[in-house]
Amino acid sequence: MESFTDREAIVEIVNKLFVYTDYQRWDDLQKEVFTEELLFDMSSLGGEKAMLTSKHICETWKAGFAGLDGVNHLSGNYILDINNSSADVFAYATATHYKKSAVHGNTREFIGSYQLHLTKKVSGWRIDQFKYDLKFMKGNIDLK
């Protein structure tokens, strides 16, 4: 089996963050992507910066996605700064939420960037700090 470079392994974890979220693979996010507890900051959407468990984050996202018919993240423009067993990653991303029954438009989009910090564990790279910076939203924001 071919092994990844640190850069490839880190990008793989960031990709898993978005893909596992889209497919609501909450257990995999907790096991393969996040540390058990992480500094979580989505204050640009009105939340507060706090130390949270990955379980709490996944439960919150699961509840937030209830009633949606689809979620799709597209990410890229990764800029990595790797220093031994820690790494900082910058990424642009858009998140599109789809709800078939919405009467004022079926989609809403969140456009922004992520600043992630990863640490290298025995099990591999894991996200231990997560910050989302919203640039703008468009579409039917309430999906009603």
Q: In this structure, how many other beta carbons lie within 10 angstroms of the beta carbon of residue 69?
A: 13
The verdict on residue 10 lying in a domain is yes
Q: For 57-68, how does the pLDDT look when each residue is reduced to its tens digit (9 = 90+)?
A: 999 999 999 999
Locate 63 and state its tokens.
Answer: 């509840």
Mean pLDDT of 88-100: 98
Q: For 10-31, how does the pLDDT look when each residue is reduced to its tens digit (9 = 90+)?
A: 999 999 999 999 999 999 999 9
- Range(s) of the domain holding residue 95: 6-139
The verdict on residue 114 lying in a domain is yes
At residue 130 the predicted structure's pLDDT band, cuts being 50, 70 and 90, is very high
Largest alpha-carbon pair distance within the chain? Answer: 51
Strand partners, 79: 90
The verdict on residue 30 lying in a domain is yes
The verdict on residue 135 lying in a domain is yes
The verdict on residue 1 lying in a domain is no
CA 4/CA 71 separation, integer angstroms = 28
Strand partners, 95: 73, 110
The CATH number covering residue 11 comes to 3.10.450.50
The verdict on residue 144 lying in a domain is no
pTM: predicted TM-score of the whole model, two decimal places: 0.96
Locate 117 and state its tokens.
Answer: 């910090």
Q: Per the structure, how many domains does the chain have?
A: 1
Cα 90 off chain centre by: 12
Average pLDDT, the chain: 97
